[in-house]
Amino acid sequence: MPLEWSGLSPDLLLVLDRECGEPLRSQVERQIRDAIRSGRLQVGERLPSSRELARRLGLSRGLVQDAYAQLQAEGYLVARVGSATRVAAGTCAPPTPARPSQECSRLVADFRWGVPDLSGFPLADWLWAMRDAGRTMPVSALDYGDPRGNAVLREVLAGYLRRVRAASADPQRMVICSGYAQGLGLALRALAQCGVRTVAYENPGSPATISSAVAWAGLSSIPVPVDEHGIDVTALEATDARAVVVSPAHQWPTGVVLAPERRRALIAWARRRDAVIIEDDYDAEFRYDREPVGALQGLAADRVIAIGTASKSLAPGLRIGWLLCPSAVVERIAEHKQLTDRGSPVLEQLALARMIESGRFDRHLRRMRTLYETRRSALVRALGSYAPEVKVTGLAAGFHAVAHLGGHADERAVVTAARARSVGLYGMSACRAGGAAEPVQLVLGFGNVGERAIAEGIAAVGGLLSGTGAGRTRSGRVT
């Protein structure tokens, strides 16, 4: 798409050599011609006015006008009276359109996990918050600031987390980051400086994300099993880990809540081992069966690094997250944040603070909680109608569920057959250390799928899930 300029003359880089012997007009013509052929200048793109280009190059306007006229005669440029000179159509090969990375637009339903309802983003409220933040912020806020993040957001966010998550939130021990992945990487690098060498993580969980962050920090990692009560602390005790990554409020991806006795055991392990717990406060905002479970960090602020984000509550594209840090590591984490990117964008931080202060953030969460609960019910109804044999768990919070496929199901076959029916399904194997495909389970994300699409999608694959369609195997062969 060509750039549009309103009343301004665009820049164009041309370099003239006044000592090479080639006439200056020929140099101008050749360089513009080459820019069009190579794609530097696209069809329809506007060129500087002859007066402006002559001024920038130190040439006479007549010379530039002659060069433009020659290129028009050759068909490279087009000009109309009262309009700018532009690159003519057909002068260069059209750019190859980018192939979409996913086929979501052609799917009846895409049950991709971890994606909130993107159409539900409160754009009007966010634009209001951005304008209000820009109007009221001091000029000094535009300078390089505290690598921990803007003080206003840290103060507002700390109050919110104390109120809603029962966290022990001190603005001085908070670091703003660009999301969970960066927050985890910063935390692990700081812990590596403190002597940590091995990091444990939940299995199933997020092996790819954790492995990348662990490698970035120069550490090793070890999976620890999760059961119906959360992470197995006895199994954790048997490792040499001095850090563990857990999601106690709504374990990813099984959806279980870390049981009270496991919470106490995990904190006791951390104190005995002189270890640190990294808490992923995953899906804490969206709980349906009871009041949200408080943050583990509120019970042991000196042993827990809690990571939260706005990715699920607002949108992943905002790239806003935060860490609540023990005093022993906050300076190290802030130092790594400073070295990584000099701090997060300030206007977005102030906008989030205004959203929270104004009550618009809470209002948005209430609306989305109702929406996701409705979609959760739609998923349960659809599975009950089209795949009643399938057991579903993990529905107490968040916007994903786990479907347990019994018998002789084959995960890859089911996923492939569903894609042929224009439905996106995703297996639990991606969440397991080593990629184990059994027991066969699917992680069904419904955050960004409407009720009608949920019903149509499950209707299309109901036979696959219940065993009456392709995707089952009894002798190693897909039927």
Q: How confident is the model at residue 96 (pLDDT cuts 50, 70, 90)?
A: low
Residue 350, domain member (yes or no): yes
Give the mean pLDDT of the chain: 91
- Tokens representing 41 are 């200048």
Task: Give a yes or no: residue 353 inside a domain.
Answer: yes
3-state SS of the chain is CCCCCCCCCCCCCCCCCCCCCCCHHHHHHHHHHHHHHHCCCCCCCECCCHHHHHHHHCCCHHHHHHHHHHHHHCCCEECCCCCCCEECCCCCCCCCCCCCCCCHHHCCEECCCCCCCHHHCCHHHHHHHHHHHHHHCCHHHHCCCCCCCCHHHHHHHHHHHHHHHCCCCCHHHEEEECCHHHHHHHHHHHHHHCCCCEEEEEECCCHHHHHHHHHHHCCEEEEEEEECCEECHHHHHCCCCCEEEECCCCCCCCCCCCCHHHHHHHHHHHHHHCCEEEEECCCCCCECCCCCCCCHHHCCCCCEEEEEECCCCCCHHHCCEEEECCCCCHHHHHHHHHHHHCCCCHHHHHHHHHHHHHCHHHHHHHHHHHHHHHHHHHHHHHHHHHCCCCEEECCCECCEEEEECCCCECHHHHHHHHHHCCEECCEHHHHCHHHCCCCCEEEEECCCCCHHHHHHHHHHHHHHHHCCCCCEECCCCEC
Is 432 domain-assigned? yes
Instruction: Assess if residue 172 is contained within a domain.
Output: yes
State how beta strands 220-227 and 243-246 pair. unpaired
- Residue 3 confidence (pLDDT) above 60: no
Domain that holds residue 210: 121-358
Residue 309 has pLDDT above 60, yes or no: yes
pLDDT confidence tier of residue 409, bands split at 50, 70 and 90: confident
The share of the chain scoring above pLDDT 90, in percent, equals 83
Look at residues 34, 65, 97 and tell me which one is the last residue of a structural domain: 97
Give pLDDT, residue 92.
67
Residue 168 confidence class, pLDDT cut points 50, 70, 90: very high
Do 261 and 321 lie in one domain? The reply is yes
Which residues are CB-contacts of 362 (< 8 A; sequence separation ≥ 6)?
356
Within this chain, do residues 437 and 391 fall inside the same structural domain, yes or no?
yes
**Structural domains in the chain (count):** 3
- Does 447 map to a domain? yes
Check whether residue 313 and residue 372 sit in a common domain.
Answer: no
101 vs 198, more confident:
198
477 in a domain, yes or no? no
Confidence at 5, pLDDT banded by 50, 70, 90 = very low
- 292 pLDDT exceeds 90? no
Q: Which residue has the higher pLDDT, 210 or 84?
A: 210
pLDDT for position 290:
67
My answer on whether 354 and 368 are in the same domain is: no
**Domain assignment of residue 476, yes or no:** no
pTM above 0.75, yes or no: yes
The predicted model gives 197-209 an average pLDDT of: 96
The verdict on 83 and 230 lying in the same domain is: no
Tokens representing 301 are 């602020």
Quick one: pLDDT at residue 176?
Answer: 98
CATH number at residue 284: 3.40.640.10
pLDDT at 473: 43
Assess whether pLDDT exceeds 80 at residue 98: no
In the block, which residue shows the tokens 């994606």? 115
The yes-or-no verdict on residue 478 having pLDDT over 70 is no
The pLDDT of residue 105 is 56
d(CA 117, CA 194): 40
The residue whose two tokens read 């706005």 is 310
Other CB atoms within a 10 A radius of the CB of residue 180 amount to: 22
For position 456, which CATH number holds?
Answer: 3.90.1150.10
- Residues 457 and 96: their CA atoms lie apart, in Å, by 32
Band of the pLDDT at 468, cuts 50, 70, 90?
low
β-strands 391-393, 400-404: how paired? antiparallel
Same domain, 166 and 260: yes
Residues 26 and 43 in one domain: yes
Contact of 270 with 303, CB cutoff 8 Å: yes
**Are 440 and 339 in the same domain?**
no
Residues 354 and 373 in one domain: no
pLDDT over threshold 80, residue 470: no
In a domain, 478, yes or no: no
Residue 147 phi/psi, 5-degree rounding, is -60, -20
Asked whether residue 306 falls in the same domain as residue 446, the answer is: no
Q: What percent of the chain has pLDDT over 70?
A: 92
- Which of 358, 378, 404 is the C-terminal boundary of a domain? 358
Report strand pairing: 109-110 vs 423-424.
Answer: parallel
- Position 475 scores a pLDDT of 35
Q: Are residues 184 and 312 in the same domain?
A: yes
Q: Which two tokens stand for residue 391?
A: 């057991």
State which of 332, 358, 384 marks the end of a domain.
358
For residues 10 and 319, the model is more confident at: 319
**Of 24-28, 79-83, 156-160, 338-342, the least confident:** 79-83
Q: What is the pLDDT of residue 4?
A: 52
CATH number at residue 77: 1.10.10.10
**297 lies in the same domain as 267:** yes
pLDDT digits (tens, 9 = 90+) for 11-27: 899 999 999 989 999 99
